């Protein structure tokens, strides 16, 4: 192990000292396990410990994985993703019909469904939600629905979408937040305060939110399949520390732990009263470097006086200072996979480097010299307050130091960090995405000029052109070629540095069944309950 790795071992691995059986078969993660089909009884409250406080409970504005997990319990979509990463109808009754020119899409909508406020779901409600996602100021869905020009209710249960151009990713987009249908009555009544009064179609309805602590949902009697919902309530409780989530699982105060870190997963495997769900991730984790975000997301980039803004060679040097394999081994026990691109091998279409570049400190130092910057280059790295982020932050700090960077760690509450990075108030931050089936869902909202999740200030005409080409190219091989070019172009900017790909680890009490944890990382509780 290199000297910086050895120096970090006490910090990164000391919490494992209490786990005496780490190298035994009892702590080996087995095959992928996404479901538990044991019969369950009716009644009871399920408490799910989530890693961070959700952002806005508004499908148009939300950007976090934890909010998507909550939405999976209370806001169904036109389409969903199944265990095989296939798109299936949910509030739609069939896959869309698309015209020969690819610009008109017709979607049949479920009959007999109601929103949690008791008003009926119909085609006009779908139109209202889609156009709000498309046009609402600050909407995080605007790029996802960029080609949508208009939508109409052909009849009470048929929606027709009109597109400016063929849009291959559309069905995948409608299998996520852009496909969630919100109650028009609630939207009219609450306006921008919908986030505090969300009303959708789902097995559970919103009851209350205590910021920083919990969100409470109750079984919705208006749900079209209410008879198949077993639990009375679901409580999503914010517990940022993975070891505390595990302690609460052991004590029985919570029954499900979301986004469990490898250290805690291995410890949980020694507990006979706990069970593990895991699935391959569609997402990625890495670093965002600010190269031009001066006015906030959704705005054109500007000139920035920051360590990474003036010369791409400085950003490349920072990336070359990092060793992906060692990060995975030291911080995550080798239980994740290294990554250097936005598209997961589990996605519908894959593209990107066959292997990730290795660490090259000498080249990093040479690039800094060529860029004419004084060393050490001072960088503030924003991280969340979780122990996992602290560990990886310290590893990055030590690695980068050898290449000529002086990294200061700035721990922040997660949603506050998102606000800062959205507004461009950062040098670097730990950046991640839970992933989408279609490659466009992992790229366009992040790197297209003025896109709603482009916190990096990226603006590249070639990237914008390739994004448009990827969206309109239907032939799989030709489309793969487009994304191969696109991933390379993004990599050449060294502003979004992909480091590793998580697995979706969820630990639950063994007396809980019916959970589903698919590749999108969401915990689905609609069929869950306590074992009969």
Q: Dmax over Cα atoms in the chain, in whole Å? A: 68
Residue 135 belongs to some domain of the structure: yes
Domain with residue 244: its CATH number is 3.40.190.10
Q: Do 462 and 481 belong to one domain? A: yes
Q: Do 221 and 171 belong to one domain? A: no
E-only strand ranges, 95-192: 97-98, 104-108, 148-155, 158-163
Q: Do 454 and 518 belong to one domain? A: no
Q: Do 326 and 459 belong to one domain? A: yes
Residue 171 belongs to some domain of the structure: yes
Q: Do 484 and 376 belong to one domain? A: yes
Q: Do 99 and 165 belong to one domain? A: yes
E-only strand ranges, 320-440: 337-338, 377-384, 405-412, 428-433
Distance between terminal CA atoms of the chain? 50
Q: Do 425 and 476 belong to one domain? A: yes
Each residue's pLDDT expressed in tens, for the chain with a length of 532 residues? 333 443 343 333 333 333 332 333 345 676 789 999 999 999 999 999 999 999 999 999 999 999 999 999 999 999 999 999 899 999 999 999 999 999 999 999 999 999 999 999 999 999 999 999 999 999 999 999 999 999 999 999 999 999 999 999 999 999 999 999 999 999 999 998 999 999 999 999 999 999 999 999 999 999 999 999 999 999 999 999 999 999 999 999 999 999 999 989 999 999 999 999 999 899 999 999 999 999 999 999 999 999 999 999 999 999 999 999 999 999 999 999 999 999 998 888 889 988 898 999 999 999 999 999 999 999 999 999 988 899 999 999 999 999 999 999 999 999 899 999 999 999 999 999 999 999 999 999 999 999 999 999 999 999 999 999 999 999 999 999 999 999 999 999 999 999 999 999 999 999 999 999 998 989 999 999 999 9
* Residue 8 pLDDT: 43
Domain boundary among 186, 220, 248: 186
Residue 345 belongs to some domain of the structure: yes
Q: How far apart, in whole angstroms, are the C-alpha atoms of residue 162 and residue 157?
A: 17
SS3 389: helix
Give the range of the structural domain holding residue 227, as residue numbers without chain letter: 33-51+203-281+504-531
Domain boundary among 154, 186, 218: 186
Q: How far apart, in whole angstroms, are the C-alpha atoms of residue 54 and residue 65?
A: 8
DSSP string, 431-466: EEE-B-SSGGGGTHHHHSTT-TT-TT----HHHHHH
Residue 361 belongs to some domain of the structure: yes
Domain with residue 472: its CATH number is 3.10.105.10
Q: Which residues contact 93 (CB under 8 A, 6 or more apart)?
A: 108, 109, 110
If you ran DSSP here, which 8-state letter would residue 424 be given? T
Q: Do 357 and 416 belong to one domain? A: yes
Q: Do 307 and 176 belong to one domain? A: no
Residue 70 belongs to some domain of the structure: no
* Residue 418 pLDDT: 93
Q: Is 513 in contact with 526 (CB distance < 8 Å)?
A: no
* Residue 271 pLDDT: 92
Q: Do 321 and 403 belong to one domain? A: yes
Q: Which residues contact 17 (CB under 8 A, 6 or more apart)?
A: none
Question: How many domains does the chain divide into?
Answer: 3
Residue 465 belongs to some domain of the structure: yes
* Residue 28 pLDDT: 62
Residue 67 belongs to some domain of the structure: no
Q: Do 402 and 477 belong to one domain? A: yes
Residue 10 belongs to some domain of the structure: no
Domain with residue 125: its CATH number is 3.90.76.10
* Residue 348 pLDDT: 80
* Residue 27 pLDDT: 52
Domain boundary among 155, 186, 217: 186
pTM confidence score: 0.88
Q: Is 525 in contact with 271 (CB distance < 8 Å)?
A: no
Q: Is 504 in contact with 521 (CB distance < 8 Å)?
A: yes
Q: Do 295 and 314 belong to one domain? A: yes
């Amino acid at each position: 192990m290199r000297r910086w790795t050895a120096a970090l071992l006490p910090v990164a691995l000391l919490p494992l000292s209490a786990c005496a059986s780490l190298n035994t078969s009892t702590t080996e993660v087995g095959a992928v396990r996404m479901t538990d089909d044991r019969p369950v009884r009716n009644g009871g409250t399920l408490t799910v410990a989530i890693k961070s406080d959700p952002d806005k409970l508004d499908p148009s504005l939300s950007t976090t994985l934890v909010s998507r997990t909550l939405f999976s319990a209370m806001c169904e979509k036109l389409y969903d993703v199944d265990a095989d990463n296939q798109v299936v109808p949910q509030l739609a009754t069939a896959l869309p019909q698309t015209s020969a020119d690819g610009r008109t899409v017709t979607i049949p909508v479920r009959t007999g469904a109601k929103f949690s406020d008791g008003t009926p779901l119909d085609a006009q409600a779908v139109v209202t939600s889609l156009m709000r996602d498309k046009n609402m100021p600050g909407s995080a869905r605007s790029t996802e629905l960029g080609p949508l020009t208009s939508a109409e209710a052909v009849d009470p249960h048929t929606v027709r979408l009109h597109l400016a151009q063929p849009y291959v990713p559309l069905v995948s987009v409608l299998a996520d937040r852009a496909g969630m249908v919100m109650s028009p009555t609630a939207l009219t009544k609450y306006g921008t305060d919908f986030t505090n009064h969300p009303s959708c179609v789902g097995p559970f309805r919103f009851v209350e939110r205590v910021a920083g602590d919990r969100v409470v949902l109750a079984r919705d009697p208006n749900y079209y399949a209410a008879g198949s919902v077993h639990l009375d309530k679901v409580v999503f409780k914010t517990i940022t520390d993975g070891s505390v989530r595990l302690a609460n699982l052991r004590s029985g105060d919570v029954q499900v732990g979301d986004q469990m870190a490898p250290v805690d997963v291995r410890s949980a495997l020694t507990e006979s009263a706990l069970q593990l769900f895991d699935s391959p991730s569609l997402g990625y984790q890495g670093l965002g470097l600010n190269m031009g975000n001066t006015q906030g997301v959704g705005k054109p980039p500007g000139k920035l006086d920051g360590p990474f803004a003036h010369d791409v060679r400085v950003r490349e040097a920072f990336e070359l200072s990092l060793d992906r394999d060692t990060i995975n081994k030291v911080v995550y026990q080798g239980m994740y996979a290294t990554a250097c691109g936005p598209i997961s091998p589990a996605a519908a279409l894959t593209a990107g480097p066959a292997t990730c570049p290795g660490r090259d400190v000498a080249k990093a130092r040479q690039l800094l010299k060529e860029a004419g910057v004084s060393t050490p280059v001072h960088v503030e790295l924003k991280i969340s307050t979780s122990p996992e982020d602290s560990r990886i932050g310290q590893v990055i700090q030590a690695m980068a130091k050898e290449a000529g960077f002086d990294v200061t760690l700035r721990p922040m509450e997660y949603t506050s960090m998102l606000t800062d990075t959205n507004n461009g108030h950062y040098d670097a931050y730990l950046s991640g995405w839970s992933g989408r089936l279609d490659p466009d869902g992992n790229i366009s909202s992040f790197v297209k000029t003025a896109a709603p999740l482009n916190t990096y200030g990226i603006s590249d005409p070639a990237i914008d052109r390739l994004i448009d080409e990827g969206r309109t190219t239907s032939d799989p091989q030709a489309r793969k070629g487009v994304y191969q070019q696109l991933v390379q172009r993004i990599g050449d900017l060294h502003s979004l540095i992909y480091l590793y790909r998580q697995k979706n680890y969820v630990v639950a009490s063994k007396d809980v069944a019916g959970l589903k944890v698919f590749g999108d990382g969401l915990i689905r509780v609609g069929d869950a309950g306590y074992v009969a």
